[in-house]
Amino acid sequence: MAALSATVFAAVPITVSTDNVALRYMVGDDGTLCQSYFGKRMADDSYASLGQGVEAFTTHGYTDQFEPALHINHADNNSSLILKYVDHKVEEVKPGVTTTTINLADPVYNDAVSLVLTAYAPEDIITCHSVITNNSGKDIELEKYASSMLHFYAPEYYLTEFSGDWGREAAMSSQPLRFGKKVIDTKLGSRANAMVSPFFMLSLDKPATETAGDVVLGTLSWTGNFRFTFEIDQMNRLRVISGINPYYSAYRLKKGETFVTPDFVFTYSDKGVGQASRNFHDWARNHKVKDGNGDRLTLLNNWEVTGTDFNEEKLVNMMHDAKELGVNMFLLDDGWFGNKYPRDNDLQGLGDWDVMEKKLPNGFAPIIEEGKKLGVKFGLWIEPEMVNPKSELYDKHPDWAITLPNRDIVTKRNQLVLDMSNPKVQDYVFSVVDKLLTDWPDIAYFKWDCNAEITNIYSHYLGKDQQHLYVDHVRGLYNVLDRIKAKYPDVPMMMCASGGGRCDFQGLEYFTEFWTSDDTDPVERIFIQYGMGHFMPSKVLCAHVARWNGDVKIKFRTNVAMMGKLGFDYNIHEWDGKELAYVKQAVKNYEKLKPAILDGDLYRLVSPYDGNHAVNQFMSKDGRLGAIFTFDIYPRWGEHEYNVKLQGLDPNARYDIFEIDRFEAGDFKYGEYTGEYLMEVGIPILTGYRLHSRVYEIRKH
Ligand code: DGJ
């Protein structure tokens, strides 16, 4: 990327770098912190020719006239902030991970602002957050408090967003950026990503492809409202401001108090989008996701099979179905609780987490015991942050729900969001999990749902600090999750919010995976998993074989789900003998391919957005085992089917390619090739069949 301005004297250089990426700051002679470079890491000598650049973290109210990163209102009504460099320090947190803290302060009001940048060298990921301390001696109000500001200077900028809706999460669309602002944000409060995932992709100069071009991928680690602002000024310079959405969130900071913003996480690649995604996948597994390098449990879930209409016998039978399938766990979904207000549908009962005696007179014991005999674990669905107005919890504590005084209550899915800013509510939510695990220590897994966004924005706890609610709600959730993680570190959990309504990396510090979408139509899932997979490793993308889209055969459905964290939401008795035999074989194949799919490198060979096919290749980290998933979705008659070129192989090595996972047939040796041939010439694995899929195994000699 180009330097940002002509050379001016610069006293203090600060370089934050990974193996291949560098972000360079310089402190100007007036003490202003400037960003002088962001892009490919260069030799130290080369940085010496850089100019000072532009102010790195701009503030409201003094000289800058574009969107600021920070806006503080002081007690005397002076709303300006001037930040001058104080000092900086660099610490090695662990091998390959270095944190640089740059301390800035206002010389008159003494507000202190630190930028904390952590560089993950081998993964080429940098995280950045700001820490704001009120040293002004009086209360201040934070009106805008970004985590990060990045500056770019390129002839053209292309932005890709990942917006959508329930059932079509992370749909990708791109646009060129021009003078002015483009904002991507959410204001839903909880289930915040239902309409837009907290991701963006920015190509510089020209749209990047999978294998070529300069591209930046960024996300905010925050399970609430976020905002990314892209603003181009009159010089065609771009600033990207990332942080909590300041919408209705002005935050009062008492004297001496500190506000820590969430991490903005980003990477840069000069080799296209595929490399940038692999950077994220590696970082997520190595540093962020709970048990990121651990295994994942395959499962059978009852939601799409029974809904809330089940009894002990049906569930015990499903334990047997799980065993028959060969999966690790049976997951009991919604509908098992509530006695005064039985949870027989979604109209009532949320909040009353006692086992429903009518349906399960012996509690979970018979299901758990059967599971123990069969070697199948037991997992449980909960939704502890929510309440139905028709519940004992709401009868007792109406003020625990987020509702407006003097207004009719507006519910979403007949439910309200509990006010997580209230410590009593936090204790209660913790107690839901704590009590379940105390009463039923064999619960091996939770699916933690969250099916409503915040409506009726008002906290009965926060008093005059109403604008703290969106922020303190998320912080309250983290308090609870911290306590759960500390007491029950080994219980894996699925994050869920009517599908992918929660898909952020901070959530994944507590959850091992997330429910990618309620939409289990395999065709739609190809697109949803493709979008999410730009940031999220397959390991965290829960993908279940279910019934949506009756046109699709079992093999295609299963192959789509095998590209994520595999599960089933199916009545296995609806399959004929051949189908069941196929699925059981597929579960075994999945176990064999896990080192490639869950822990390896993803290469997106053919994008579903480009036509009527999709192909993904996964390679294990040692390069010995690979899997190719090909999908012919709706090819047109007479369409040319070009060879698919593989990636990430050793050109000098030889590889066997087997077609595996065949319906009613054994593995078939497709051919033997050099890595060079596979990458330069490719193989003809696309077909003209509709809704057709194949799985190939790659074995290195
Ligand atoms: C929404 C989830 O996304 C579904 O998988 C299911 O758990 C339902 N909630 C249950 O209410």
The pLDDT value given to residue 182:
98
pLDDT at 636: 93
Residue found under tokens 């600060």: 14
Task: Give yes or no for residue 111 CB within 6 A of ligand 1.
Answer: no
Residue type, 127: T
Q: How far is the CA of 519 from the centre of ligand 1 (A)?
A: 11
For the chain, give the mean pLDDT.
Answer: 97
Using one digit for the tens of pLDDT, what is the confidence trace for 189-207? 999 999 999 999 999 999 9
Give me the pLDDT at residue 5, please.
43
496 lines ligand 1 (CB under 6 A): yes
Q: Rounded to 5 degrees, what are φ and ψ at 204?
A: -105, 140
According to DSSP, residue 121 is labeled T
Residue nearest to atom 6 of ligand 1 (CA): 303
Which pair of structure tokens corresponds to residue 318? 């499903």
pLDDT per residue as tens digits for the range 62-111:
999 999 999 999 999 999 999 999 999 999 999 999 999 999 999 999 99
- The Å distance, Cα 452 to ligand 1 centre, comes to 11
Q: Which residues pair with 55 in a beta bridge?
A: 34
Q: Which residues, including other chains, have CB under 8 Å from residue 350's CB and lie 6 or more apart?
A: 338, 343, 383, 386, 387, 388, 391, 393, 415
How far, in Å, CA of 588 to CA of 603, rounded? 23
Q: b/e map of 464-487 (b: 16 or more CB within 10 Å)?
A: eeebbbbbbbbebbbbbbebbbee
Q: Which of the residues 214, 333, 449, 569 is marked catalytic? A: 449
pLDDT bracket for residue 3 (50, 70, 90):
very low
pLDDT of residue 1: 42
Half-sphere exposure of 286 (CA within 13 A, CB side): 17
Complete DSSP assignment for 81-99? ---EEEEEEEEEEETTEEE
Residue 599 CB coordination number (10 Å): 21
Separation of CA 334 and ligand 1 centre (Å): 7
CB contact set of 177 (below 8 Å; sequence gap of 6+)? 157, 158, 159, 230, 232, 238
> Span 600-606, mean pLDDT?
98
Distance from C-alpha of 24 to C-alpha of 278, rounded to nearest angstrom? 24
Are 143 and 495 within 8 A, CB to CB?
no
Per-residue pLDDT, 275: 98
Closest CA to 598 of 543, 521, 657, 660: 543
Query: Which residue CA neighbors atom 10 of ligand 1 most closely?
Result: 334
CA-wise closest residue to 352 among 307, 379, 382, 312: 382
Note the pLDDT of residue 6. Answer: 40
Q: Cβ–Cβ contacts within 10 Å for residue 637, how many?
A: 5
The answer, yes or no, to whether residue 564 has pLDDT greater than 70, is yes
499 CA to centre of ligand 1 in angstroms: 7
Ligand 1 geometric centre to CA of 518 (Å): 7
* Mean pLDDT calculated for residue range 177-188: 98
**Which one-letter amino acid corresponds to residue 441?**
P
pLDDT at position 23 is: 98
Q: Can you tell me the mean pLDDT for 294-318? A: 98
**Is 124 among the catalytic positions?**
no
- Ligand 1 and 334: CB distance under 6 A: yes
Q: What gap in Å lies between CA 344 and CA 135, rounded to an integer?
A: 54
Where helices occur in 3-136 by DSSP H, the ranges are: 44-47
| pLDDT (average), residues 526-545 | 98
What pLDDT sits at residue 233? 98
518 tagged catalytic: yes
Q: For 367-412, write each residue's pLDDT tens digit.
A: 999 999 999 999 999 999 999 999 999 999 999 999 999 999 999 9
Reduced to 3 states, what is the DSSP secondary structure of residue 523? helix
What is the per-residue pLDDT for 415?
98
pLDDT of residue 333: 98
Query: What is the number of helices (H) and of strands (E) in the chain?
Result: 12, 37
Query: Residue 276: which residues within 8 A CB-CB, separation 6 or more?
Result: 201, 215, 216, 217, 267, 268, 269
Fold annotation for 602-700: Immunoglobulin-like (2.60.40)
- 282, 321, 472, 518: the active-site residue: 518
Chain centroid, CA 118 distance in Å: 19
Task: Quote the CA–CA distance of 471 and 462 in Å, as a whole number.
Answer: 12
Q: In this predicted model, what pLDDT tens digit does every residue of 536-550 receive, in sequence order?
A: 999 999 999 999 999
Cβ contact 226:136 at 8 Å: no
pLDDT more than 90, % of the chain: 97
Residues 450-497 have pLDDT tens digits of 999 999 999 999 999 999 999 999 999 999 999 999 999 999 999 999
Among 544, 661, 687, smallest CA distance to 606 is for: 687
Closest atom of ligand 1 relative to the 499 alpha carbon: 3
What's the whole-number mean pLDDT along residues 51-57?
Answer: 95
304 lines ligand 1 (CB under 6 A): no
Residue 588 has pLDDT above 90, yes or no: yes
Nearest CA to ligand 1 atom 2: 498
Which band of pLDDT confidence, cut at 50, 70 and 90, is reported for residue 572?
very high
**pLDDT confidence of residue 7:** 40
Domain spanning 12-272 has what CATH number? 2.70.98.60
The percent of residues in the chain predicted with pLDDT above 70, rounded, is 98
Residue 166 CA to ligand 1 centre (angstroms) = 12
Q: Taking the CA of residue 21 as centre, how many other CA atoms within 13 Å lie in the half-sphere pointing to its CB?
A: 26
Q: pLDDT band for 356, please (50, 70, 90 cuts).
A: very high
Q: What confidence score (pLDDT) does residue 10 get? A: 47
pLDDT-based confidence at residue 279 (cuts at 50, 70, 90): very high
The tokens describing 679, both together, are 């990458």
Atom of ligand 1 nearest to the CA of 518: 3
**Secondary structure of 473-519 in HEC code, one letter for each residue:** HHHHHHHHHHHHHHHCCCCCEEECECEECCCCCCHHHCCCEEECECC
CATH 2.60.40.1180 in the chain, residues?
602-700
pLDDT at 498: 95
Whether ligand 1 lies within 6 angstroms of the CB of 515 is answered as yes
Average pLDDT over residues 664-675: 96
In the predicted model, is pLDDT for residue 57 greater than 60?
yes
Domain boundaries for CATH 2.70.98.60 within the chain: 12-272
**Looking at residues 319-343, what average pLDDT do you find?**
98
Which candidate, 191, 190, 200, places its Cα nearest to that of 170? 200
pLDDT higher than 80, residue 2: no
Q: How far is CA 619 from the centre of its chain?
A: 22
Query: Model confidence at 54, in pLDDT bands (50, 70, 90)?
Result: very high
pLDDT value, residue 389: 98
Strands ordered across the beta sheet of 226-232: 148-153, 237-244, 226-232, 180-185
